[in-house]
Chain A
Amino acid sequence: MDVPRDWLSSMGDIAKFSGRVIAEVFEGRAFHFFGETLRQAGILILGSAIVIWGLAFIVGLTCGIEGAYFNRAVGAPAYAGVFSAWCDLREAMPYAFGYMMSAKVGTGLVAEIGAMRISDEIDALEVMGISSLTFLCTTRLLAAWMVLPFMYIAAVGAGFFASYLAVVQQIGEVSSGGFFLIFWMFQNPPDLLYSTIKGMAMATVIVLVGCYYGYTASGGPVGVGTATAKSMVLNTVLVHLVGMLGTQIFWGTNPRAPIGG
């Protein structure tokens, strides 16, 4: 019974920690360290944008190829755009974004903040009269919220572009105009909003989990390694949980598809 109890208690700790960090963002505490917030935003853009867009592009390409061949198989090659519109926007992009965020940003946060914890840098911040939680975690969450919506929408764009390349340029069984007719018919602006909400929910969870495991790391370099591994496992699970809940809530009862009148 010890293991489930440990899980429950650490879930409680993470929830409490996350609550504090989110509350601090809304209290505006991160603005005391706005320079640090901007620095973190810069790190996110310079360090993660290219890999996230790259993965989104590859996933979009795959989605396009699969969709084109599947639609040819059922005798409706002109409808390949359905696949791109749905697969890319609703599922593939949020997951690609979530995976890359967990792998690159989440683990990076644990390693960075955890290393600061074990080398007394967090204590040093505290004794300088600076709230380490605000300085390290709240600024990072605010930076993520400032930067990631744009990065996410750009990633969706990269995915769409890759699907277009695959369907129209590579396989070429539908004209550009025909592709876009179906493509735009099967999505509208609220879908993009829902998709972005999914991605941002994932990003928030990942940043908070990363900050939590880093901030509470103990036991030397090995402890930081263990915490990094734990955060990756939890983040992977949570990304799928958010993905599933998002699909259920946004499209579960209403597929928002112009089929069957």
Chain B
Amino acid sequence: MTDDDRRDDQFEQPPEPTRRAMTDEPHEDIPSNIHDQTREGQHPYQWHEGVNREHGSTDAVEFIDVKKSFGRNTVLNGLNFGIPEGQISMIIGPSGTGKSVCIKHMVGLLYPDEGDVLVHGESVPSMTDDQLFDMRKKFGVLFQDGALFGSMNVYDNTAFPLRQHTDKGEDEIEEIVSRRLREVGLSGAIDKMPNELSGGMRKRAGFARALVLDPHIVLFDEPDSGLDPVRTALLCELIQEVHAENGGAYVVITHDIMSARRVADYLAVLWKGRIVESGPASELFNSPNQFVRQFLSGEARGPLGME
């Protein structure tokens, strides 16, 4: 390194106070040993009681000892739980614990390395392609960013599943599509292209599209990500209203506790690819499990650290 380089480096370094904050010196409020107390030398699954509390319904989707790795990275490690029929379930857990991977297993976009996934009692991994495409018609999926087709406007996006899978005439399709778009408050935006919509509108359009075939099971992949709290609350309300009207098993993936309190009938807490505890929401919010308590109250202190 030349002298000039060194001088440039010094210019690029942040001023002194910022640098101190960036180093791993302990924050004043938190004792330096708090994470050590809770994490060091402990079994990774010591909080995972795996309790499946009774939810008083049959299972629409069941996970049986599902394991899934990507290379050396194990994402699901013995996942065991069921999604109850006729309720709004929420799978909650810290970022990067395999929530989205879990959803992709339900619709056969990913297959488990070990274990089995059952949808209405049928094993997804052992289906043929045609059976799989047929089975997927039971599902409506709302992807994180809506996943609207960029080449079609909102109306055509919403009408797409109907045009592909039904013999309905354009009149009937228009009736269904405009009803669904009215429900999600997008009647005024039917001829807009996806790139002209805000993030919240794209999600609502995706929601309308997920519902047009009247699916038995609706999956929501982080419907609240990137939305402000008010829009999140409105979307949650919408999910409840639509569920009240249509019924079926709704599965919402989130790490937003407020949404969980508002919407969930059934909660499954997922961490490190395994269920910590699952059961009716009212019971889980009073769970004695330390991890569940920490996560559902959003506290910094507890078994979950920054690692």
| A binding-site residues for B, Cβ under 8 Å | 115-116, 119-121, 123-124, 126-131
| B binding-site residues for A, Cβ under 8 Å | 104, 107, 109, 129, 133-137, 139, 141, 143-145, 147-150, 160-161, 164-165
Contact of B133 among A116, A121, A123, A130 (CB under 8 A): A130
Contact of B143 among A120, A129, A130, A131 (CB under 8 A): A120
A129 contacts B134, CB within 8 Å?
yes
**A124 in contact with B164 given A119-B150, A129-B133 (CB within 8 Å):** no
The distance in angstroms between the C-alpha atoms of A124 and B133, with both chains bound, is 12
The distance in angstroms between the C-alpha atoms of A124 and B148, with both chains bound, is 8
The distance in angstroms between the C-alpha atoms of A255 and B2, with both chains bound, is 65
**A124 in contact with B147 given A129-B134, A131-B129 (CB within 8 Å):** yes
Q: Is the interface of B mostly helix, strand, loop or mixed?
A: mixed
The 6 closest A-B pairs by CB, nearest first: A120-B147, A124-B147, A129-B136, A120-B143, A129-B133, A127-B141
B137 contacts A121, CB within 8 Å?
no
Point out the residues of chain A lying under 8 angstroms from B134, CB to CB: 129
The distance in angstroms between the C-alpha atoms of A146 and B164, with both chains bound, is 23
Sample (21) of A-B pairs whose CB atoms are under 8 Å apart: A115-B150, A119-B147, A120-B143, A120-B145, A121-B148, A123-B143, A124-B141, A124-B149, A126-B107, A126-B109, A127-B107, A127-B109, A127-B136, A128-B137, A128-B160, A128-B164, A129-B135, A129-B136, A129-B137, A129-B164, A129-B165
The distance in angstroms between the C-alpha atoms of A123 and B101, with both chains bound, is 13
Point out the residues of chain B lying under 8 angstroms from A115, CB to CB: 150
The distance in angstroms between the C-alpha atoms of A120 and B107, with both chains bound, is 14
A121 contacts B149, CB within 8 Å?
yes
Point out the residues of chain B lying under 8 angstroms from A116, CB to CB: 149-150
Point out the residues of chain B lying under 8 angstroms from A120, CB to CB: 143-145, 147
Q: Which residue of B lies closest to A131 (CB)?
A: B133
Point out the residues of chain B lying under 8 angstroms from A126, CB to CB: 107, 109, 136
Point out the residues of chain B lying under 8 angstroms from A124, CB to CB: 141, 143, 147, 149
Point out the residues of chain B lying under 8 angstroms from A129, CB to CB: 133-137, 164-165
The distance from the CB of A223 to the nearest CB of chain B, in whole angstroms, is 16
The distance in angstroms between the C-alpha atoms of A119 and B194, with both chains bound, is 12
The distance from the CB of A53 to the nearest CB of chain B, in whole angstroms, is 25
B109 contacts A123, CB within 8 Å?
yes
The distance from the CB of B17 to the nearest CB of chain A, in whole angstroms, is 34
The distance in angstroms between the C-alpha atoms of A22 and B149, with both chains bound, is 25
The distance in angstroms between the C-alpha atoms of A128 and B241, with both chains bound, is 23
Q: Which residue of A lies closest to B104 (CB)?
A: A123
The distance from the CB of B2 to the nearest CB of chain A, in whole angstroms, is 32
B145 contacts A128, CB within 8 Å?
no
**A119 in contact with B145 given A127-B107, A129-B133, A131-B129 (CB within 8 Å):** yes
Point out the residues of chain A lying under 8 angstroms from B165, CB to CB: 128-129
Besides the contacts A120-B144, A121-B148, A129-B135, what 9 more A-B pairs have beta carbons closer than 8 Å?
Answer: A123-B141, A123-B143, A124-B141, A128-B165, A129-B133, A129-B137, A129-B164, A130-B164, A131-B133
Q: Which residue of A lies closest to B160 (CB)?
A: A128
The distance from the CB of A159 to the nearest CB of chain B, in whole angstroms, is 33
The distance in angstroms between the C-alpha atoms of A134 and B161, with both chains bound, is 16
B139 contacts A127, CB within 8 Å?
yes
Point out the residues of chain A lying under 8 angstroms from B135, CB to CB: 129
Point out the residues of chain B lying under 8 angstroms from A123, CB to CB: 104, 109, 141, 143, 147
The distance in angstroms between the C-alpha atoms of A120 and B160, with both chains bound, is 16
Point out the residues of chain B lying under 8 angstroms from A130, CB to CB: 133, 164
The distance in angstroms between the C-alpha atoms of A247 and B107, with both chains bound, is 49
The distance in angstroms between the C-alpha atoms of A104 and B110, with both chains bound, is 33
The distance from the CB of B290 to the nearest CB of chain A, in whole angstroms, is 35
Q: Which residue of A lies closest to B134 (CB)?
A: A129
The distance in angstroms between the C-alpha atoms of A124 and B164, with both chains bound, is 13
The distance from the CB of B53 to the nearest CB of chain A, in whole angstroms, is 29
Q: Which residue of B lies closest to A122 (CB)?
A: B147
B161 contacts A128, CB within 8 Å?
yes
The distance from the CB of A260 to the nearest CB of chain B, in whole angstroms, is 57
Q: Which residue of B lies closest to A130 (CB)?
A: B164
The distance in angstroms between the C-alpha atoms of A23 and B279, with both chains bound, is 48
Point out the residues of chain B lying under 8 angstroms from A128, CB to CB: 136-137, 160-161, 164-165
The distance in angstroms between the C-alpha atoms of A12 and B149, with both chains bound, is 30
The distance from the CB of B13 to the nearest CB of chain A, in whole angstroms, is 28
Point out the residues of chain A lying under 8 angstroms from B144, CB to CB: 120
- Residue of A121, A126, A128, A130 with highest tally of chain B CB at under 10 A: A128
Q: Which residue of A lies closest to B133 (CB)?
A: A129
Point out the residues of chain A lying under 8 angstroms from B161, CB to CB: 128
The distance in angstroms between the C-alpha atoms of A130 and B165, with both chains bound, is 9
The distance in angstroms between the C-alpha atoms of A131 and B134, with both chains bound, is 11
The distance in angstroms between the C-alpha atoms of A131 and B130, with both chains bound, is 9
Point out the residues of chain B lying under 8 angstroms from A131, CB to CB: 129, 133
The distance from the CB of A142 to the nearest CB of chain B, in whole angstroms, is 17
The distance from the CB of B119 to the nearest CB of chain A, in whole angstroms, is 12
Q: Which residue of B lies closest to A126 (CB)?
A: B109
A121 contacts B141, CB within 8 Å?
no
Q: Which residue of B lies closest to A43 (CB)?
A: B151
The distance from the CB of B163 to the nearest CB of chain A, in whole angstroms, is 8
Q: Which residue of B lies closest to A32 (CB)?
A: B164
